[in-house]
Amino acid sequence: MTDIASLTNLIKPEADALGFELVRVQFVSGADEPTLQIMAERPETGQLGIDDCAALSRRISAKFDDLEEQGNDPIDHAYRLEVSSPGIDRPLTRAKDYQNWSGHEARINLVDAVAGRKQLRGILEGIDGETIKIDDRKAGSQETPLANVHSAKLILTDALIKATVPVSADGADEIEEQTLEEQED
């Protein structure tokens, strides 16, 4: 099994060099072969465009190819590389995510139960030091250490969509009309 912490240490400098922040590095099981999934974002937008994804993918591939040529292949089995933006209903992986997305609905899966529950779902109330706060729909206001989080993600809601700034709206108001003759050319 490949060590995700070691992979993250190899990938982070490549993301940093492009001005991106890593959100998550993980292996996802697939039907054919496992996928190395890398999520990153531009700090100023919280998003990553297609050209950004391609640039990061090329850097990571080149670095891993160099390591393989030196006899230090970081992944000793077949896999797919997937680089993406975290998306609107993004995973919450860093302490700052809980503060940045305070006021939005999230689902948090826990290692150890809190208030008799291993999953909390409700409005994030932020983070205080290493303690996450959430107003769970069923259990009310709850707190848990960040270290107790197995996985967490935002829930897609109208409020979240409204709060998410698009990468670029350039050209959205420009409509190009063509006559039928122009379309046939």
Residue 184 pLDDT greater than 90, yes or no:
no
Residue pLDDT, tens place only, 31-43: 678 999 999 999 9
Residue pLDDT, tens place only, 108-139: 999 999 999 999 999 999 999 999 999 999 99
Exposed e or buried b per residue across 33-71, where buried means at least 16 C-beta atoms within 10 angstroms of its C-beta: ebebbbbbbbeeebbbeeebbebbbebbeeebeeeeeee
Domains, the chain, ordered by start: 4-84 (3.30.300.70), 95-163 (2.30.30.100)
Q: What is the pTM assigned to this prediction?
A: 0.80
